Amino acid sequence: NKKEFDMAPMFADRKETKLFFASSRMGSTGDDIDPISCQNYVDIWVSEIDKKGNWGEPKLIDNSGLINTPEHEGSVTFDGRGKTMFFTRCPNMKKHNLGCDIWVSEMKGKDEWSEPKKLNLKTNDSITVGHPCVSDDGKFLIFASDMPGGYGGKDLWYTLYDKKNDSWTTPKNLGPEINTKGNELFPTFGKDGSLFFASDGLVGMGGLDLFKAAKVGEEMKWEAPKNLGTPINSESNDYALYELTEVKGYFTSERKSPSGQFNPDIYKYELPPDN
């Protein structure tokens, strides 16, 4: 973690040795400053862990300019093979009301990605779609959006890949079992198919809290979500959880850091045995 924003941890490889995350740290692409955060625009970075458990110096995921641009890139996810990458990109064109989009890129070789393609998921450029979460087979995609037909704020929606037409189906809302009048963001899948996400519309400890909804049957449906409680959730925003095992994982929190700041940082957790 740096003094800038570090957030949305995600692993791509099955051995879970390469940690991808979004960061506005020095070295990010472009020189513009985001007028909202007063930070550099966010890029996707990667760090690799060695056999001793030490993280290597993070680096931008590519040097081609195809993935990281002077705009915002972040909230990345991968299919089960780690060969297909979905990520959020948010335009920063002045005097234009443009929402974020989800883009997809295929791995071409070691640390190389193809030119990304934008998913056609929305009916208006001002609508935001982002925070992708994809199934292992790469055919079921959950995302956050403020598109019409939701329950308030940003909701979680889903779409299916139509192989025959090489397109994604019209998005459908995950429904009132998950979504509220507030915001539901940063969905991820747990090892057992559970759905993790952040919400400020459910009863929580303050700001965005992390919730878990257990999977029901073989279909993509989930039970009523449960708050993960402390110490994972805090009075600040907590979101973007990645589950390594039933008791270990990573997430983002804006709680006060050891340096005294409240910027987003990446945390690792380990639950006690009785959990």
DSSP, residue by residue, 41-58: PPEEEEEEB-TTSPBPPP
> How far is Cα 62 from Cα 158, in angstroms, rounded to an integer?
28
136, 140, 141, 146: CA torsion to nearest 10: -160
> How far is Cα 80 from Cα 145, in angstroms, rounded to an integer?
24
**pTM of the model as a whole:** 0.93
Encode the chain (275 residues) as per-residue pLDDT tens digits. Answer: 998 899 999 999 888 999 999 999 988 886 666 655 556 789 999 999 998 989 999 999 987 789 999 888 989 999 999 999 999 999 876 656 789 999 999 998 777 899 999 999 999 999 999 999 999 999 999 999 999 999 999 999 999 999 998 999 999 999 999 999 999 999 999 999 999 999 999 999 989 999 999 988 877 789 999 999 999 999 999 999 999 999 999 999 999 877 777 889 999 999 887 65
